[in-house]
Amino acid sequence: MSAALTSEVTADLQAIVGEQWVITDPVRLLAYESDGLTAYRRPPGAVVLPADTDDVSQVMACLAHAEVPVVPRGAGTGLSGGALAGPDAVIVATPRMNRIVHVDPENRLALLQPGVINADLTVAARPHGLYYAPDPSSQSACTIGGNVAENAGGPHCLKYGVTSRYVTGLTVVLYDGEVLRLGGLGRDSAGYDLTGVFIGSEGCFGIATEIEVRLLPIPQATRTLLAMFDQLEDAGEAVSAIVARGLLPAALEIIDRETIQAVEASIFAAGYPVDVEAALVIEFDGIEAGLDFEAEEAERCCWEKGAREVRRARSEEERLALWQGRKKAFGAFGRVAPDLLVQDATVPRTRLPEVLRAITEIGHRYGLRLANVFHAGDGNLHPNILFDRSDADELARVEQASREIMAVCVEAGGTITGEHGVGLDKRGYMRMVHSRDVLEVMRATKKAFDPWGGMNPGKVLP
């Protein structure tokens, strides 16, 4: 594709969306050179902020005509560099498209523009006794459009599943400006599940401009436990024991010693003991009756696996306090080291203990600081490597170590990314999990949606 972002093109874009909604000043474009992952910096050629489906369609048609690639962007909270564009491409950002078109309590549905913030949807649904289940850790800022692009997860996926479970229909705009309506509750769509394949396509197929999602009734009650362990593996064993007992918690989250120390040293100190090796957050939700029994069963599992201490939240404040250490972990690393490499591999749950052992060993071998935060219930690991980019030797070791960590996870039957997406960052690992034929089919699937190759080029596929 020959890029030609000329001044005529930007003038056309301004004519479509209005002058103030097209950013071309190189200094202002710097803010868009990274998303939530700062390892990559690529300032785009321009940023366009459309207001609705029609705007997006016209903008895309204009850019397609000029053969300028498009990169969709929501709140820029992604952790795989998926929302980065080069100087020859244009970012089409959705923050102006932040309208909740309607909440339909009768059908437990909501229709949204893509720029709606995940947490805002739950706020809007709450008066109806409903909420939106997928809750990625960045839910206070990330957009539903971004959630669709990444098929976002979160700590409560163990029981409730990921974004694709909740999206029932989409309006999407393809690169040439064509508007397609896919799926929708209340109808059996003929043919292939294009809604399903669009979710998680990381902006490589098109832009979702309207999103229909399912809402759930707010659980009547929750029980939250925090268990402390002197061995990281014991925490992993406790997770297995809970699952083996036939319990299905809403969340099972582990943070390790390094992470606890980072949080406790930050302004968000949560009161976790800093000398334990692991803290396990367990949450049950549902009907009040019987929840105590489940919580007690889980507590028993923790004691059996050698927990040192188990705390139980008695109020909503206490519940938030128990979660604090988990929720603030990512930000707290910012104060510990200049750079952070976030991994996102997933392994079958039963392989957790051995994989954790291997990761620790790799960290030691390369002399790196590793901090583990993970969704233990679904085997989604976030080993974070804390380092300093300006140290070339350390940077090299980080890259070597992360490749080895990936290899260990894939070897254990896992995958390279559970919820952050491939983006720019993990393209190099794609061949570890997919055969040439599969990659070829993925390429062809993209091509079916985007025969022009104009949508978010250079992402996902190696």
Partner 1 sequence: MNSPGVALADALSGKRDLLLPCVHCGLCLPACPTYVRMHDENDSPRGRLYLMRAVVEGRIDPAADAFQTHIDRCLGCRACEPVCPAGVEYGTLLEYARAVAVAARPQPWFIRTLLGVFQRPGRMRTVMRLSRWLRASGLAGLGAWIIPRRWHTLRMGLAMLSASGGGKLRRLGRRRRAAPTEASVGPPDAYSALPDTDDKDEVRPARVGLLSGCVQAGLFERVNDATGRVLKANGFAAVTPSTQACCGALHSHSGDLEGARALARVNIAAFEGADVETVVVNAAGCGAAMKGYAQLLADDAEYATRAAAITEKIVDLSEILVRYGMRKGAPIWARVTYDAPCHLLHAQGVAEAPLEMLRSIPQLELVELKGSAECCGGAGLYGITHGELAQSIGSDKVDAILETKAEAVVTGNPGCMMHIGAGLLFRGAGIEAIHPVELVDESYRRGGLY
Partner 2 sequence: MNALAAVLSRRLPEGQVVEGFRAEQWAVCDRVPQAVVFPESESEVAEVMRLATQEGWTVVPAGKGTWLHGGQPPGAVDVVLSTMRMDRITLYEPGDLTVTAEGGIGLDLLARRCGEHGQWLPLDPPGPRKGTLAATVSTASSGPLAYHHGSPKDHVLGVSLVTGDGRVLELGGRVVKNVAGFDVLKLTIGSWGTLGVLTSITTRLHPQPPADRTVLFRGEAAELVALARAIATAPAPLAALEMLLPGERERSGGPVSLLAVRILEAPEATDEICRIVTDTAGASAFRQMDGRASADLFRNVEALESGAELVVRLSLLPSQLEALRQYACTLRDLADPDEGWGTRLAAHVQNGILRVIMSRMARGEGWIDRAAEVIERVRGGLEAEGGSLTLSRGPCELVSAVGAWGDVGPAAPLMKTLKREFDPAGVLSPGRLGFL
Shortest Cβ 238–partner 2 spacing (Å)? 12
- Kindly tell me which of 108 and 389 has the beta carbon lying closer to partner 2: 108
Q: Which of 76, 145, 169, 383 binds partner 1 (CB under 8 A)?
A: 76
Closer to partner 2 at the Cβ: 247 or 269?
A: 247
User: 207 in helix, strand or coil?
Assistant: strand
Rounded to whole angstroms, how far apart are CA atoms 385 and 340? 6
Q: Is 189 in the site for partner 1 (CB under 8 A)?
A: no
Partner that binds at residue 290, options partner 2, partner 1, none, CB closer than 5 to 8 Å by kind: partner 2
Task: Report DSSP letters for 317-345, one per residue.
Answer: HHHHHHHHHHHTHHHHHTTT-SEEEE---
For partner 1, the binding residues in 83-122 under the rule CB under 8 A are 93, 95-96, 117, 120
Of residues 311-370, those binding partner 1 (CB under 8 A): 327-328, 330-335, 338, 340
DSSP 143: B
* Distance, C-alpha 147 to centroid of its chain: 7
Q: Which is nearer to partner 1, 238 or 424 (CB)?
A: 424
Q: CA 397: distance to chain centroid?
A: 26
Distances (CA, A) of 266 to 59, 260, 263, 332, 334: 44, 10, 5, 6, 10
**Quick one: what does residue 182 bind among partner 2, partner 1, none, with the CB cut-off 5 to 8 Å set by partner type?**
partner 2
Residue 443: how many other CB atoms lie within 10 Å: 12
Distance between CA atoms of 200 and 324, rounded to whole angstroms? 29
- For tokens 């049950």, the residue is 284
Q: Which helix (H) or strand (E) holds 393?
A: helix 392-411
* Token couple for 422: 């491939």
Please name which of 224, 272, 305, 462 lies closest in space to residue 373, comparing C-alpha atoms: 272
Complex with partner 1: residue 142 or 352, whichever CB lies closer: 142
**Residue 335 touches which member of partner 1, partner 2, none, C-beta under 5-8 Å by kind:** partner 1
Angle among Cα 457, 461, 462 to the nearest 5 degrees reads 110
Task: Give the residue, chosen from 3, 12, 13, 35, that forms a contact with partner 1 under the rule CB under 8 A.
Answer: 35
In the list 1, 6, 11, 28, the residue contacting partner 1 (rule: CB under 8 A) is: 28
| Residue 330 touches which member of partner 2, partner 1, none, C-beta under 5-8 Å by kind | partner 1
Residue 75 contact partner, candidates partner 1, partner 2, none, CB within 5 to 8 A by sort of partner: partner 1
User: Residue 249: which H helix or E strand, with range?
Assistant: none
Amino acid letter for position 246: G
Q: Which of partner 2, partner 1, none interacts with 460 (beta carbon under 5 to 8 A by kind)? A: partner 2
Residue number, 95 or 196, with CB nearest to partner 2: 196
Nearer to partner 2, 76 or 153 (CB): 153
- Site size toward partner 1 (CB under 8 A) is 40
CA dihedral (342, 326, 309, 289) positive or negative: negative
By CB under 8 A, name the binding residues for partner 1.
Answer: 21, 23, 25, 27-28, 30-32, 34-38, 47, 49, 75-77, 93, 95-96, 117, 120, 138, 140-142, 266-268, 327-328, 330-335, 338, 340
